[in-house]
């Protein structure tokens, strides 16, 4: 039942389109916002990207994505820190409220150690975020990514990081794909609302018989997530940001993307 003006689309969702095409087509379709992936900025540079995005009149809830704090190699951690500052610069340039963080994981790094890398990396990055007035949103990823992408897999773990680092520029991006199964979800969303850390809300769906761990997300309504209920929890918690549509799907990417954007619009109205 979400109005389109309250929905934003992640550029990765229609990844064949240029940033200019995304902006024009999302706006024309009636969406209120765009979430910009860095690969959409890269071919044209951040100045040109900023002009296009700002001219579109679309809200920009997020730049995607930073993080990747975990590495045994110190040089790699330093390179990630540098890249994260660049993310913040880009976010500031295009007027994005927040940078979404995939915190990282590395095979061979025990999870407790990986989680220390994340806390340390965040602590060092936060002053730069604050200075640039860009929020940082930890996105807990589904436990199936704990081996190589994210050692933070539940809202509760993201909350503990926020409590430890206590900084108004640090919060959580809640993506239904990653957290829908968690019995503590309702309570954690409420807590994030109370603590002022609910920075983002991402939607897509979990296909029963998922065929691929990365690129087989469903359009809202195609899977088994009760998105509307979770959306209610998020609203009750005081979140008034945009619903961000973020779908990675080999199947959906192969369809006519103009029709696909219309399907996304319909799915937002019916299932979010």
Report the interface residues with a copy of itself, using CB under 8 A: 107-108, 110-112, 115, 142-144, 146-148, 153, 157, 180-183, 206, 208-210, 213, 223-224, 226, 229
Quick one: 16 or 208, whose CB is closer to a copy of itself? 208
Quick one: 75 or 108, whose CB is closer to a copy of itself? 108
Cα–Cα distance for residue pair 131/136, rounded to 1 Å: 12
Neighbours of 1 (CB within 10 A): 11
Quick one: 48 or 144, whose CB is closer to a copy of itself? 144
Sequence-distant (≥ 6) Cβ neighbours of residue 96 within 8 angstroms: 35, 36, 60, 61, 62, 63, 90, 134
Read off φ and ψ for residue 157, nearest 5 degrees.
-70, -40
3-state secondary structure of 171: strand
User: Min. distance of Cβ 127 from a copy of itself in angstroms?
Assistant: 27
Helices (H), 166-242: 176-179, 185-195, 227-236
Nearest to 178 by CA among 197, 209, 156, 211: 156
Q: How many residues does the chain have?
A: 272
User: Min. distance of Cβ 46 from a copy of itself in angstroms?
Assistant: 32
Cα–Cα distance for residue pair 205/220, rounded to 1 Å: 5
Cα–Cα distance for residue pair 4/264, rounded to 1 Å: 10
User: Min. distance of Cβ 60 from a copy of itself in angstroms?
Assistant: 31
Quick one: 3 or 184, whose CB is closer to a copy of itself? 184
User: Min. distance of Cβ 145 from a copy of itself in angstroms?
Assistant: 9
User: Min. distance of Cβ 176 from a copy of itself in angstroms?
Assistant: 12
Quick one: 97 or 216, whose CB is closer to a copy of itself? 216
User: Min. distance of Cβ 226 from a copy of itself in angstroms?
Assistant: 6
Task: Report how far apart the first and last C-alpha atoms of the chain are (Å, whole number).
Answer: 6
Quick one: 111 or 165, whose CB is closer to a copy of itself? 111
């Amino acid at each position: 039942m979400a109005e389109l003006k309250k929905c934003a689309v992640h550029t990765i969702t229609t990844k064949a389109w240029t940033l200019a095409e995304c902006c024009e087509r999302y706006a024309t379709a009636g969406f209120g916002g765009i979430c910009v992936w860095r690969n959409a900025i890269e071919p044209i540079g951040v100045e040109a990207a900023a002009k296009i995005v700002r001219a579109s009149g679309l809200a920009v809830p997020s730049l995607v994505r930073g993080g990747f704090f975990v590495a045994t190699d110190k040089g790699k951690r330093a390179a990630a820190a540098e890249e994260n500052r660049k993310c913040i610069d880009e976010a500031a340039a295009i007027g994005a409220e927040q940078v979404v963080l995939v915190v990282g994981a590395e095979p061979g790094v025990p999870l407790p150690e990986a989680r220390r890398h994340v806390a340390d990396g965040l602590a060092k990055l936060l002053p730069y975020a604050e200075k640039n007035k860009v929020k940082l949103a930890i996105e807990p990823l589904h436990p199936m990514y704990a081996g190589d992408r994210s050692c933070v897999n539940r809202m509760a773990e993201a909350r503990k990081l926020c409590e430890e680092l206590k900084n108004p520029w640090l919060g959580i991006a809640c993506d239904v794909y990653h957290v829908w199964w968690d019995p503590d979800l309702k309570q954690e969303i409420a807590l994030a609302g109370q603590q002022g850390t609910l920075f983002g809300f991402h939607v897509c769906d979990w296909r029963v018989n998922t065929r691929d761990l990365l690129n087989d997300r469903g359009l809202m309504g195609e899977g088994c997530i009760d998105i509307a209920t979770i959306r209610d929890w998020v609203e009750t918690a005081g979140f008034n940001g945009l619903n961000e549509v973020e779908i990675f799907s080999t199947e959906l990417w192969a369809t006519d993307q103009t029709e696909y954007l219309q399907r996304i619009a319909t799915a937002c109205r019916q299932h979010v």
